[in-house]
Amino acid sequence: MQIKERSQKDVVIVDLTGEVDFYNSSKVRERFINLVKQKRKAILINLGEVTYIDSSGLATLIELMQKLNGYGGKLKLIGLNQSVRNIFEVSKLTEIFSIYQEEQEALKAF
């Protein structure tokens, strides 16, 4: 699991690589909590290189979205490969998250 962070104007882009599962979702959560503490208003999570996500990884994303919504922040996701997209679809999370294929498209939506 790798986490890289970069910025494009006021948007923080978090690139995740590998598996987001029980064993490393706490590392992801820590990084997200730091962004919330900074009151970042726009976070874009790139899941293009995520090969697997389990319920703890999904819970981490849901928690981040709830915390952001609490102070008017926005969360968007990009690049879900088919296996990760299937997990989001089965769990009906495609109805909750704003999901885009391309980074530029998501950035324009903020």
Residues 74-90: tens digit of each pLDDT: 999 999 999 999 999 99
**Total structural domains within the chain:** 1
Q: What percent of the chain has pLDDT over 70?
A: 100
Beta bridge partners of 78: 46, 100
Q: What is the pLDDT of residue 27?
A: 94
Amino acid (1-letter code) at residue 71: Y
Contact between 69 and 96 (Cβ < 8 Å): no
pTM of the model: 0.94
The predicted model gives 32-42 an average pLDDT of 95
Which residue segment(s) compose the domain that 100 sits in? 2-109
Which CATH number belongs to the domain containing residue 36 in this structure? 3.30.750.24
Average pLDDT value for the chain: 96
